[in-house]
Chains A and B, each alone.
Chain A
Amino acid sequence: MSPRTSGTVRAGQYAALLCYLAFLAFPFLWLISTAFKPARELGSLHPTWIPQDPTLDNFRQAFDEQPLLRAAANSLTAALCAALIAVVIATPMAYVTARHRGRLSTAATGWVVVSQAFPFVLVIIPLFLVLKYLHLINSLWGLILVYVVWSLPFALWMLAGYVRAVPPELEEAAAVDGAGKARILVSVTAPLLAPGIVATALFAFITAWNEFFFALVLLKTPENQTLPVVLTHFLGAEGVADLGPLAAAAFLATLPSLVLFAVIQRRITGGLTAGAVKN
């Protein structure tokens, strides 16, 4: 890569990389460590990195204290529905914005940018009023609607990129062979787009699964609340005794996102870094 890197520079690079690794990894390792520590160790004044007496009590206690399973089911429903709907309605629009340059495409791109800049508070109050009018406050469906719209900008942007990667010549060739527009979209374009669509759906799923602010405002009764909101209930009665279950629940809530992110990591970074995979 960079020509003739001397030994000392190399050593310095490795040292710096190690510092980064430590900084990035240590909070997560500490979370895992705390999750497996018995209450006695958590109360001690000299906490250790590795639990001396690892236990699963914290996980048991976490499930006893808060309705984690129900919250996970709510999160799953909201994230799944939001991701599916978002992809289904975003793909055709992304196709249009990528293939036809025009006022509509410009407006769509402009909206994607502008929607990033507005603070949620300016959107959440009217949304709250609109959803209240539609009797969708405190309902998962209201939240799903919000998540769909909220994940659209990024979904459109990602999908438009994938559409551009499909050569228009393929579609033109199919047209010459006499295939209709709908037929071309379904049997030529869609299969080529499939991996991109899956990646976008997974990304939308992760953002919805992780989302907190809208869920906090829109869901009031515990039966409807999603995982991130329920997690904050552990913080309510603060005390040393709660640290273990808190860590355990937080660790569990992260697993789905981490696994899915590992699956699409290459695509996300690959999509953004175009050619990163080559070297």
Chain B
Amino acid sequence: MTLATATVRSGRGAPRGGRGDGRRRDGRRRDGATWFLVLPALIPILILSVGPLLYGIALAFTDAQSGRTRSTQWVGVLNFQDLLHDTLFWDSFRIGLLWAVGVTVPQFVLALGLALLLNANLRMRWLARALAIIPWAMPEVVVGIMWRLVYNPDAGILNETVRDLGLGDGRDWLTGLATALPAVIVVGIWAGMPQTTVALLAGLQNTPHELHEAAALDGAGAWRRFRTVTWPAIRPVALAISALNFIWNFNSFALVYVLTSGGPGGRTRLPMLFAYEEAFRYGQFGYAAAMGCVMVAVISVLLALYLVGRLRGGEDA
């Protein structure tokens, strides 16, 4: 830019100020234009995202309740002290971690396998690609409903298959104390595979082909080629997507709400379900906000450890 614009401007601004003045004015004008472009998005973000987030953190230090007439008081860390002794919450937290790890790890392994297959020259690739996307497009509520039909003790396909294979009479998967959590974890894996697959596929397609061929010529087997060529290339994507998956899974709500509502006996009550009930069934806003804060804090620490560990591991390798 900007020989043309510069001359036009200095021509216009010439009578009064020197060149320096003109340039400063230009800078300010660009700032004005920038703000004009940014504000429409920035204002809603500040009011409805950043603001509520800070407000939410502040609420955790109050005794806010829904539908109460008495004004809200600051209570310091009382909510957190209560939380510390709330065994139900920590049970739920443990289940949440089990669920998040139980979903994220197999999801990653399966998605990596699928991405590798989709990256190979196979014939039904287009079909697999189309199908792999379906869970992504579906409303989570529908995914939950769908799997309830699959798990249904009488009319479900799972028990029918179990009976056909002569493995017994089947069971009520979603209400059995032992089977409920594994059953919802399978649904979680199914629902989250597309994003992971697509991200990993993107990483794979950036792997240099020549390296692959060179390694093959040198007589490297498939596993060695994967370890030495493919994996280093997709590692950044793999790290990012598994970290994101972990967060998303830990914070997930709709799937389990529809599948089990947290039952049986709280065996699938994820922290989000717990906090939701605390806030909107019992109206304990302050206490629920404290739960949210604890969830964020623990997740941040875990992720920091994970990322630091992985990055360091990468330097050694």
Contact = CB atoms under 8 A, between A and B. Distances in A.
Interface of A: 1-5, 9, 13-14, 16-17, 20-21, 23-28, 30-31, 34, 42-47, 49, 88-90, 92-93, 95-96, 100, 104, 111, 115-127, 129-130, 145-146, 148-150, 152, 156, 172, 175-176, 178, 181, 206, 209-213, 216-217, 227-228, 231-232, 234-235, 240, 243, 246-247, 250, 253-254, 257-258, 260-262, 265, 268-269, 272-276, 279
B142 A43 contact: no
Nearest to B143: A27
B134 interface: yes
B120 A1 contact: yes
6 contacts: A20-B110, A21-B124, A25-B131, A117-B300, A123-B56, A243-B152
Contacts of A23: 190
B145 A217 contact: no
Given A111-B45, A123-B49, A152-B44, A254 B131 contact: no
A125 B145 contact: no
Contacts of B49: 111, 115, 123, 149-150, 152
Contacts of A115: 49
Interface string B3-23: 111000000000000000000
Nearest to A209: B139
Contacts of A240: 154-155
Given A27-B146, A206-B137, A175 B2 contact: yes
Interface string B198-217: 11011001100100110011
Nearest to A235: B258
Contact of A27 (B1, B147, B163, B201): B147
Give chain A's interface secondary structure class.
Answer: helix
Most buried by A among B137, B148, B280: B137
B131 A149 contact: no
Contacts of A232: 141, 257-258
Interface string B207-232: 00100110011000010010000000
B137 to A, nearest CB: 4
A254 B138 contact: yes
Contacts of B285: 125, 129
Contacts of B209: 1
B141 A156 contact: no
A93 B198 contact: no
Interface string B125-158: 0011111111111111111011111101011110
B186 to A, nearest CB: 10
Nearest to A178: B4
Contacts of B114: 20
A231 B145 contact: yes
Interface residues of B, number: 108
The 10 closest A-B pairs by CB, nearest first: A122-B292, A261-B137, A92-B37, A210-B139, A126-B52, A126-B55, A93-B41, A89-B40, A273-B202, A228-B141
B105 interface: no
Contacts of B239: none
B174 to A, nearest CB: 11
Interface string B268-293: 00011001100110000100110111
A14 to B, nearest CB: 7
A258 B42 contact: no
Nearest to A88: B40
A27 B150 contact: yes
A212 B140 contact: yes
Contacts of B121: 1
A122 B293 contact: yes
Contact of A30 (B41, B127, B150, B202): B150
B193 interface: yes
B128 A17 contact: yes
Interface string B92-124: 000000000000000000100110010111111
Given A43-B155, A92-B40, A126 B59 contact: yes
Contacts of A206: 137
Contacts of A9: 222
A122 B132 contact: no
Contacts of B33: 181
A24 B190 contact: yes
Contacts of B57: 122
B87 interface: no
A262 B131 CA distance: 10
Interface string B241-256: 0001001101101100
B63 to A, nearest CB: 13
A257 B136 CA distance: 9
B34 interface: yes
B202 A272 contact: yes
B317 interface: no
A175 B5 contact: yes
B66 to A, nearest CB: 8
B4 A176 contact: yes
A126 B51 contact: yes
A125 B34 contact: no
A122 B114 CA distance: 35
